[in-house]
Amino acid sequence: MIFSLFRKDPRRTTIATLYKRIATASRNPGLYAALGIPDTLEGRFEALSLHMVLILRALRQLPHPADDVAKDLTDAFFRDMDASLREMGVGDTVVPKRMKKVAESFYGRAHAYDTPLNDGDEAGLAIALGRNVYGSEAPAAALGRYAFAADRALKTVSLDTLLETGPVFPEPESFA
């Protein structure tokens, strides 16, 4: 019984690997150099949130157990955000309040990006990205094209491929 606590859970390992691949993709230097995402704490949150939204959208289109993968992946994202806040020195009493703001921000972005992606509204997505990523009313057209291309590509990937090899995102430099 006690030894079961020390065994690796293959499902958790798979989700951790998938999350790591998404986080790595969100740190692609081209996102910051070519597409102009600010290389700041907020900019990195925006890049990670965008990539998470794109993956979660792809998972919604896939058969069971993709819904379980999406839930586990979302949990991994929020565990990472919680750990990051604690690493930055945010006190234990303040973390829940900050996490509530992180969750509101993430789900707000997911909603803001979902509608234009569903409708094929590149201009609407560019405006939402400009507002969230750049803090500007100027549309983020290049980043919007990148997100549309990633969304289209991810819709062609099976769950097995996504879990085994991870997501493949386009090269940001080709959208600058």
Instruction: Round to whole Å and give the CA distance between 158 and 145.
Output: 23
Average pLDDT over residues 47-55: 98
Instruction: Round to whole Å and give the CA distance between 90 and 54.
Output: 29
CB 103 within 8 A of CB 85: no
Average pLDDT over residues 150-165: 96
Rounded-to-5 percentages of helix, strand, coil across the chain: 75, 0, 25
Counting other chains too, the contacts that 33-36 makes at CB distance below 8 Å and 24 or more residues apart are 33/173, 34/142, 34/172, 34/173, 34/175, 34/176, 35/140, 35/142, 35/143, 35/146, 35/172, 35/175, 35/176, 36/134, 36/140, 36/142, 36/143
The structure's pTM equals 0.92
* The one-letter amino acid at 65: P
The single-letter DSSP state of residue 137 is: S
Give pLDDT tens digits for 113-150: 999 999 999 999 999 999 999 999 999 999 999 999 99
How does residue 83 score in pLDDT terms, banded at 50, 70 and 90? confident
Average pLDDT over residues 36-48: 96
Q: What angle do CA 23, 109, 116 make, to 5 degrees?
A: 110
The single-letter DSSP state of residue 135 is: S
CB neighbours of residue 111 within 10 Å? 11
Residue 6 is predicted with a pLDDT of 54
Best CA proximity match to 49, nearest among 68, 29, 73: 73
